[in-house]
Structure 1
Amino acid sequence: MTETTIAEHGLIGDLQTAALVTTDGSIDWFCCPRFDSPSVFGALLDDERGGRFRIRPAGACASAQMYHPDTAVLITRFSGPDGIGEVVDFMPPCDGPATTRHRIARLVRCVRGRMTFDVVVAPRFDYGRRPHQAMLVANGAVFIARDTSLVLHAVREPGDEHLAETRIEGGDVHLRLTLDAGQVRGVVLETDSAEPPREIRVADFEALFQSTVDWWRGWLARSTYRGRWREIVLRSAITLKLLTYEPTGGLVAAPTLGLPEELGGERNWDYRYTWVRDASFSVSALLALGFAEEAARFGNWLGDRIREGRGGTSGPLAVLYRVDGTTDLREESLAHWSGYRGSAPVRIGNDAAGQLQLDIYGEALDSVFAADRAGFELPHQGWEALRAALEWLGEHWDQPEEGIWETRGGRKRFTYGRLMSWVAFDRGIRLAGTHGRPAPVEDWTWQRDSIHGQIIDRGWHRTRNAFVQHDTGDELDAALLRMPRTGFLPATDPLWLSTLDAIKTGLVTDSLVYRYDPAASPDGLAGAEGTFSLCSFAYVDALARAGRLEEARTAFEKMLTYANHVGLYAEEIAPTGEQLGNFPQAFTHLALIDAAVTLDAVLG
């Protein structure tokens, strides 16, 4: 079983796929050629059958991990009785069209003394379902599995033959590399290469490292954020960039699948896709940091999805898409994998794609509205697509749905879905009025006001003295923490302040926020889950907007202590403080940025 915890990982990527690197130098998660492609290394979910790419010292060593400042280049440092060494991991950015060629570069350096590193390249193609052959050749090795291949290039200097011992064992390549202080060597693993392994000189490898560092620093220099929490906010921005599929601009919810929301439980989902909701939230977060180009590219992605207009009872928008905009997301289980710490089933695909979630229309329109205020033009064709979406929503908003949390316990009239439907019409009305767009504004105004009235009449629970999850119960829902952010009610309105107090009492535990109580609000799944980090940061935002600045800042600072050693967050936090769920999660980092920006504004 997997011994490394979820939090003991750093993330590297090239803007089309990504890899997780453990604190002991093992890449135990990597899919290619895209985020949503089958895995090549998957030891994170099955230590025996998943496959890994490990570089670490031969003897016992302590390790520590950090990012090269202001980059996505990861450094894992080892110290032992014989010396100090480090492995520098990066993937040169692929910021052009979609490609099947990706490179994982692993620079190995001895800093002091003498160190011997063991390198193991053990791929397991197609989630470990496809056999492969391995061959040692001049300057490296080749792995072949039916319609895909990997090439391992050696980084060395002439006369280095004495430094390395190489062998094949069970389809895996093993290499032992002994270095003295100051020596630098390494390997580059390349997918779908048209060339055989080649010898890469150290100077060329260091130049590749420097160009990658320069690329990330050049990108980050575009940020306009000058707030109090620059380091963690910009690390979140880099993480969001790493989770963006550059060819389309789609943002994946996470680069992983199957990481549990409860250890040993069944809440193990595939998050390697683009949710309309998550990606829409990214627009305001990225704009707030000055990354207008990324926000605009997602706007183009969203516009393409709206113009495609699927139609039918599920609406013109799907809940989620593959990174290329397709919707083939049939859910199945990998029965041959044990799962993270025995958490099964391990699911690939996601049946939530076929659910009805009404809130996505409000999030989509809100992102378009934010982009419009930032100066981006909405073309006529895009406006017509939005009109069509609002026409569909006008006929369908008043019905049960699965909701933002994608419950599998039956449809309900969720208050949050109503709230975001109100947002959709409100933003449509504003866009039409600002630019004189042709629109049935009177009808949209009637729809908006009808929804507002229904939320007040049915979403408000008089005994609970709070807005509740749906109109047939009194359960609380942390999704409603976004209510003041939408403008539905002022952040200091008595109805909202009473709701905030109820959420504090019922769902908050020392700054950590549960999204709802599964026992009180059955969601069709067995077991429980941890606190939801998106909601914890949304709680900070809501406190700040309500003027409760001391509470907000304390809650925010406490949340920062739950980040892992390189500033990354999974989806949830267990009662033990352990990170749970897919990792790192875009939703969490988006909410962190929103909370930091709001706090900066109100603190002055």
Structure 2
Amino acid sequence: MAFDSAGFEQADGGRYIPISEHGLIGDLRTAALVAANGTIDWYCCPRFDAPSVFASILDADAGGSWELAAEVPTRTRQFYFPDTNVLITRFFAADGVAEIQDFMPVVDDSREADRHRLIRRVVCVRGTLPFRARIAPRFGYGAEAHTTHVEGHTAVFRSPSLTLALTATAPLEADTGGLDVWSRFKLLEGESHVFALDRIGDGLPPRSCPRAEAQEQAEATVRFWRRWLAGSRYHGRWREMVNRSALLLKLLTYAPTGAIVAAPTTSLPEQIGGERNWDYRYVWVRDAAFCVYAMLRLGFTSEAEAFMAFLSERGIMRGTGQSGPLQIMYGIDGRTDLPEYELAHLEGHLGSAPVRVGNAATGQLQLDIYGALIDSVYLYDKWGQPISSDRWDEVGAVVDWLCEHWDQPDEGVWETRGGRRNFVYSRLMCWVALERAIRMANRRGLPADLTRWRESRDAIYRQIMARGWSAERGAFVQGLDGHVLDASLLMMPMAKFVSPTDPKWLSTLDALTTDLVSDSLVYRYDPTASPDGLHGPEGTFSICSFWYVEALARAGRLEEARLAFEKMLTYANHLGLFAEEIGPTGEQLGNFPQAFTHLSLISAAFNLDRALG
């Protein structure tokens, strides 16, 4: 499939930093994007899904930002302190070299965790460099007014819903408008300044951050991430990329509940200037369930256990909604109501409107989520801890419901807004739910209506083989009795529905390669052949590209798989991070960084390593 570059032009690029030119820091409660030029242009406080404080990535003028950079011409390089989520941005100038160390200390569940401290430590390592900082918060997605009070080395930004305190070792001054705070300073070799932004109020007073304390907190943050990563069992060929993906998935975990967000951002466009802009700061059952698989593969059972607790403690599997016991997504606190609305006052990244908050897809019926969830429970029961009797009762109730409801149209894995259809992938994952539940019941002798479960499982299998296979295309197809190809079907051998060397599957793989693959990059489907209710083109989907690698490897086409994998890694940004999609000239598109992409990278690396021996 050839690239269509229409609609991907990067107009007005001078005001916006490309999506890929960012790193992410966080404290397991919220996160901030730090651009390669030192600007924080996305930060929500106090949670991932809270209104933004800095959002200039979505509106360069009205969104707010925290600029921090050398005041002379420089070139910059950005990297993570090895095996951590401590981000370093280096500035190289004619007269010196300096760096900003950005991090958020990860603390326990004490009151200090509510501070959500964000530390920026500026250090001159060679020569001398002048620096300039501008702290310009715009509360409530840029819609909430605030006041600013500066006294000495402290500035307090107060809005109706949130109060932040900035403390610094450098001098601070308010601008003439009284809303923003500036700081100018010059550092000689070996000198440093520290800025710390805290949430205050509700019993949390302002607290300074002296240089020594910043150094101690930096070292403690490094120790935390390295100690966590040491639990990984992966020691294969692509250790650096897998470790970065694991650190990213952990960073997207909301520690108070064990929830895992799909991405820390909203409305970063899948097409520049287009309408495919969505809020991903929630828990997709599918994404989080696949994350559990990736974490268990790497040996991180506590994260899987935390997500299982999230499911149980919030009654997720005991729902009684119109679309069944499960919603497709939940808030990070387990809430079910995620109303979608548009922020008309924000222009969107590079003019890509609308900017959305909330997600209307929560009301969709997506039957594939049942397979993803039951498979994650099965894997946790196998590789983590045996599930409890109460949890098994929940699984049984879900599977019983599925026996009655699998044979109906839904919106599908890609959350199309063009009406319900009989998607083959949805049927496939219903089969997975039943098959894994049967395995659990048999292995542990758990009570179940196995006769009914087997009948439903086998009926799904026969339906897919009879109506999901197109003799004309020589391939399994997107919808029953259809002819359009869909990259989601790359999951068929991974789900163990078909053998990876089954002639029908190999024919499907060849057809997908011809129609949907462009130099290792994979499109989800052809929207002109299968309208999805939205306008405009989209990029290739990175999760599908990693699924393609795994499908090739399982089919024994190891040289092709390895080359495709290595090519995919070249599309990562300078820090090893991926957004959801890749555009026609290699640009990152969609919300960033994206959990789904990174968990599929982990799975592809793990299985390709094993196949290569």
1:533-552 CA-partner distances (Å, limit 9, x unpaired): 00000000100000000000
Matching residue within 565, 573, 584 for 2:574: 565
The amino acid of 1:351's aligned partner reads A
203, 228, 232: which one aligns with 2:241: 232
CA contact 1:306–1:316 (8 Å) conserved in 2:
no
Once the two structures are TM-superposed, the CA of residue 428 in structure 1 deviates from its matched residue by 0.8
CA distance in 2, matches of 1:191, 1:198: 10
Q: 1:76 corresponds to which residue?
A: 89
Structure 1 residues 256 and 375, CA, compared in 2 at 3 Å: closer, same or farther?
closer
Match of 2:428 in 1: 419
In 2: Cα distance, 1:312 partner to 1:564 partner: 40
Look up the match of 1:294.
303
8 A Cα contact 2:46 2:116, kept in partner: yes
Q: Is the 8 A contact 1:45 1:339 kept in 2?
A: yes
Match of 2:180 among 163, 172, 180: 172
Tell me how far apart the structure 2 counterparts of residues 535 and 96 of structure 1 sit (CA, whole Å).
Answer: 37
Counterpart in the other structure of 1:160: none
Inter-partner Cα distance in structure 2 for 1:288 and 1:140: 46
Q: How does 1:179-328 map to 2 (within 5 A)?
A: 179-193=187-201, 194=203, 197-304=206-313, 309-328=318-337
Partner of 1:159: none
Alpha-carbon distance change, 521 to 97 in structure 1, aligned in 2, over 3 angstroms? farther
What is the CA-CA distance between 1:82 and the residue it aligns to?
2.2
2:587 is the alignment partner of 1:578:
yes
Q: Which moved more, 1:136-145 or 1:308-317?
A: 308-317
- Distance, in Å, in 2 between the alignment partners of 1:480 and 1:197 is 54
1:200: Cα distance to partner?
Answer: 2.9
Give the stretch that moved more between structures: 23-32 or 184-193.
184-193
1:334-483 equivalent positions in 2, closer than 5 A: 334-483=343-492
One-letter code aligned to 1:152: L
Determine helix, strand or coil for the equivalent of 1:164.
coil
Structure 1 range deviating more: 402-411 or 281-290: 281-290
2:149 alignment counterpart: 135
SS, match of residue 175 in structure 2: strand
**Inter-CA distance 197–439: structure 2 relative to 1 (3 Å threshold):** closer
Mapped partners of 1:519, 1:100: distance in 2: 48
Aligned mate of 1:497, from 466, 491, 506: 506
**For the residues of structure 1 that align with 2:166 and 2:382, how far apart are their CA atoms?**
49
Contact 2:152/2:171 (8 A) holds in 1 = no
Work out the CA distance in 1 between the residues paired with 2:108 and 2:497.
Answer: 39
Residue 23 of structure 1 pairs with residue 36 of structure 2: yes
State the one-letter code of the partner of 2:300.
F
CA gap 1:537/1:95 in 2 versus in 1, 3 angstroms: farther
Paired letter, 2:27: D
CA distance in structure 1 between the aligned counterparts of 2:53 and 2:171, rounded to whole angstroms: 25
2:140 matched to 1:126? yes
CA contact under 8 A between 1:276 and 1:302: conserved in structure 2? no
Give 1:324 deviation, angstroms: 0.5
SS in 1 for 2:109: coil
The 5 Å alignment of 1:509-548 reads: 509-548=518-557
Q: Is the 8 A contact 1:306 1:317 kept in 2?
A: no
Q: Distance in 2 between matches of 1:326 and 1:384?
A: 22
Residue 104 in structure 1 maps to residue 136 in structure 2: no
Is 1:603 the counterpart of 2:612? The answer is: yes
Q: Give a deviation string over 1:440-488, Cα, whole Å, max 9, x none.
A: 0000000000000000011001100100000142111101101101111
Q: AA paired with 1:122? A: A
1:52-63 matches, cutoff 5 A: 52-63=65-76
Contact 1:541 1:598 in 2 (8 A): yes
Q: State whether residues 301 and 384 of structure 2, in contact with CA within 8 Å, keep that contact through their aligned partners in structure 1.
A: no
1:13 equivalent to 2:26? Answer: yes
**Partner residue in 2 for 1:551:** 560
Give the counterpart letter for 2:122 in structure 1.
V
After the TM superposition, which of the residue ranges 328-337 and 138-147 deviates more from structure 2?
Answer: 138-147
Matched residues in 1 for 2:373 and 2:110: separation?
A: 25
Residues 138, 197 of structure 1: 8 Å contact kept: no
Is 1:16–1:247's contact at 8 Å kept on the other side of the alignment? yes
1:574, 1:268 → 2: CA distance? 15
Q: TM-score, normalised by structure 1?
A: 0.97
Q: In structure 1, give the amino acid aligned to 2:70.
A: P
Deviations 1:303-329 (A, max 9, x none): 345555222430101100110000121
Moved more, 76-85 or 417-426: 76-85
Give unpaired runs (5+ residues) of structure 1.
157-162
CA contact (8 A) 2:328 2:369 kept: yes
- Match of 2:606, as an amino acid? V
CA distance in structure 1 between the aligned counterparts of 2:495 and 2:108, rounded to whole angstroms: 34
CA RMSD of aligned residues (A): 1.3
Per the alignment, in what secondary structure is the counterpart of residue 134 of structure 1?
strand
Which of 80, 92, 95 aligns to 2:105? It is: 92
Give yes or no for the alignment of 1:116 onto 2:130: yes
1:339 counterpart letter in structure 2: G
Identity %: 56
Alpha-carbon contact 2:194-2:209 (below 8 Å) kept: no
Q: 8 Å contact 1:403–1:416 — kept in the other structure? A: yes
Checking the alignment, whether the CA contact within 8 Å between 1:32 and 1:100 is kept in structure 2 is: no
2:64 pairs with 1:51: yes
Q: Flag the 1:410–1:103 CA change in 2: closer, same or farther, 3 A.
A: same
TM-superposition CA deviations, 1:235-281 (whole Å, max 9, x none): 00000000010111111000000011111000000000000000000
Alignment correspondent of 1:590: 599
8 Å contact kept, 1:71–1:238: yes
Q: Does the CA-based 8 Å contact 1:259-1:340 persist in structure 2?
A: yes
CA distance in 2: counterparts of 1:382 and 1:40, whole angstroms? 39
Q: How has the CA–CA distance of structure 1 residues 417 and 199 changed in structure 2, closer, same or farther, with 3 Å as cutoff?
A: closer
Instruction: Describe the SS at the equivalent of 1:402.
Output: coil
1:195 to 1:442, Cα distance in 2 relative to 1, 3 A: closer
In 1, Cα distance between equivalents of 2:102 and 2:227: 19
Task: Give, in whole Å, the separation in 1 of the partners of 2:309 and 2:529.
Answer: 40
CA contact (8 A) 1:66 1:76 kept: yes
Question: 1:81: Cα distance to partner?
Answer: 2.0
Separation of aligned partners in 1, 2:559 and 2:80: 31
Amino acid corresponding to residue 213 of structure 2 in structure 1: D
Tell me whether 126-135 or 166-175 shows the greater mean CA deviation: 166-175
- SS of 1:44's partner is coil
Q: Secondary structure at the match of 2:184?
A: strand
Contact 2:340-2:358 at 8 Å conserved across structures? yes
